[in-house]
Amino acid sequence: MAETQPLLSIEELAALSAGIVDGSLDVQSGYNVDVQVRKHDIAAEDSSLGVNVASLDMINERFIRLFRLGMLEVLRTSPRMNPTRTQIVRFGDYLKDLKAPLSVNIVRMSPLRGYAMVVIEPTVVFSSLDSFFGGFGRGVGQLPPGRLFTPTETRIIKIILQVFFRSLKEAWSPLTPVDFEHISSEINPQFAQIVDENDLVILCRFESEATSQGAGFVDMVIPYVALKPVRDLLRSRVQTGDGNEDSDKVWRGQLTDAVHDAELEMQILLGKLSISLQQLQTMQPGDVLPFKKADFARAMVEDMPVYDVEVGAMGSQVAVKIVNAISPNTPT
Give the C-alpha separation, 27 to 24, whole Å: 9
- 244 or 290: which leads in pLDDT: 290
- Which of 216, 238, 260 lies at the terminal end of a domain, its last residue? 260
Q: Does 162 lie in the same domain as 300?
A: no
Residue 239 has pLDDT above 50, yes or no: no
Q: Does 240 lie in the same domain as 204?
A: yes
Residue 197 has pLDDT above 80, yes or no: yes
Q: Is residue 35 part of a domain?
A: no
pLDDT in tens, 251-303: 677 777 777 777 788 888 888 888 888 888 888 898 888 877 778 888 888 77
What single-letter DSSP state applies at residue 230?
A: G
- Which of 260, 278, 299 lies at the terminal end of a domain, its last residue? 260
Which whole number is the average pLDDT over 58-65?
A: 90
The answer for residues whose C-beta is within 8 angstroms of residue 318's C-beta and 6 or more apart is 311, 312
Residue 241 has pLDDT above 50, yes or no: no
Q: Give the predicted TM-score (pTM) of the model.
A: 0.58
CA distances from 283 to 194, 271, 289 (A): 65, 19, 10
Residue 170 has pLDDT above 50, yes or no: yes
Give the C-alpha separation, 109 to 86, whole Å: 18
Predicted local distance difference test score (pLDDT) of residue 227:
87
CATH value at residue 221: 3.40.1550.10
Q: Is residue 177 part of a domain?
A: yes
Q: How confident is the model at residue 247 (pLDDT cuts 50, 70, 90)?
A: low
Which whole number is the average pLDDT over 162-167?
A: 94
Which whole number is the average pLDDT over 175-179?
A: 88
Q: Does 114 lie in the same domain as 89?
A: yes
Q: Does 177 lie in the same domain as 115?
A: yes
Q: How confident is the model at residue 148 (pLDDT cuts 50, 70, 90)?
A: confident
Tell me the CA end-to-end span of the chain in Å, nearest whole number: 105
Query: What total of structural domains would you count in the chain?
Result: 2
Q: Does 271 lie in the same domain as 245?
A: no
Residue 219 has pLDDT above 50, yes or no: yes
Q: How confident is the model at residue 104 (pLDDT cuts 50, 70, 90)?
A: very high
Domain that holds residue 311: 266-325
Q: What is the CA radius of gyration of the chain?
A: 32
Q: Does 311 lie in the same domain as 189?
A: no
Q: Does 199 lie in the same domain as 114?
A: yes
Q: Is residue 60 part of a domain?
A: yes
Query: 194, 221, 193, 225: which is closest to 44 by C-alpha?
Result: 225
Reduced to 3 states (helix: H, G, I; strand: E, B; else coil), residue 198 is: coil
Q: Does 279 lie in the same domain as 228?
A: no
Reduced to 3 states (helix: H, G, I; strand: E, B; else coil), residue 147 is: coil
Q: Is residue 25 part of a domain?
A: no
Q: Does 275 lie in the same domain as 253?
A: no
Predicted local distance difference test score (pLDDT) of residue 325:
87
Reduced to 3 states (helix: H, G, I; strand: E, B; else coil), residue 131 is: helix
pLDDT in tens, 3-60: 566 667 777 777 777 777 777 766 666 555 566 665 555 444 444 446 678 888 889 9
Give the number of residues written for the chain: 332
Give the C-alpha separation, 175 to 237, whole Å: 9
Q: Is residue 20 part of a domain?
A: no
Predicted local distance difference test score (pLDDT) of residue 2:
55
Q: Does 177 lie in the same domain as 84?
A: yes
- Which of 220, 239, 260 lies at the terminal end of a domain, its last residue? 260
CATH value at residue 305: 2.30.330
Predicted local distance difference test score (pLDDT) of residue 42:
43
Question: What mean pLDDT is reported for the chain?
Answer: 80
Which whole number is the average pLDDT over 229-236?
A: 77
Q: Is residue 30 part of a domain?
A: no
Q: Does 226 lie in the same domain as 173?
A: yes
Q: Is residue 215 part of a domain?
A: yes
Residues 188-222: b if buried by 16+ CB within 10 A, e if exposed: ebeebebbeeebbbbbbbbbbeeeeeeebbbbbbb
Q: Does 157 lie in the same domain as 194?
A: yes
